[in-house]
Amino acid sequence: MNKWITYAQVAFKANKICKGSKLLPSIQNQTAKLVIYSNQMGQNSKKKILDKCRFYEIPCFGVDQTEFDHITKRSFVAFSITDRNLASRILEQRKGTVISDGLQQTKEKTQSESQSAK
């Protein structure tokens, strides 16, 4: 099992997550530090979450349904982690992996482009 999945499970046990109807308000209030969603999520819901994450500059990424089930063991398709340290640990462990539709890729590109422009 990946180490980042363990960190996400710790966030669940510590109740440092928002899910369901509290997910979008947590993104808008910027209490969410990281959003993780299942790739089996519907296109409309995925677009809404990705657009909110891009606007509020909150990192997000999608995972396979099997990985998502290892984390949640429940029947929902997205959640946010509200603890900054756990979120940074997960992003650190996921560094180097391909993130589909994730904000992290665009952030890295803009930082490298701004450094090359100087």
Which domains does the chain possess?
3-117 (3.30.1330.30)
Q: What is the pLDDT of residue 75?
A: 80
Whole-model pTM over 0.95 = no
Mean pLDDT, rounded, for 47-67? 93
Between 105 and 53, the more confident residue is 53
Paired residues of 17 in beta bridges: 81
- What local confidence, expressed as pLDDT, does residue 2 receive? 84
Q: Give me the residue label for tokens 């904000």.
A: 103
With a cut of 50, say whether residue 117 has pLDDT above it: no
Residue pair 81/32 in contact by the 8 Å Cβ criterion:
yes
> What is the spatial distance between Cα 10 and Cα 81, in angstroms, rounded to a whole number?
10
Task: Give the number of other Cβ atoms within 10 Å of residue 106's Cβ.
Answer: 12
For residues 107 and 91, which has the higher predicted lDDT (pLDDT)?
91
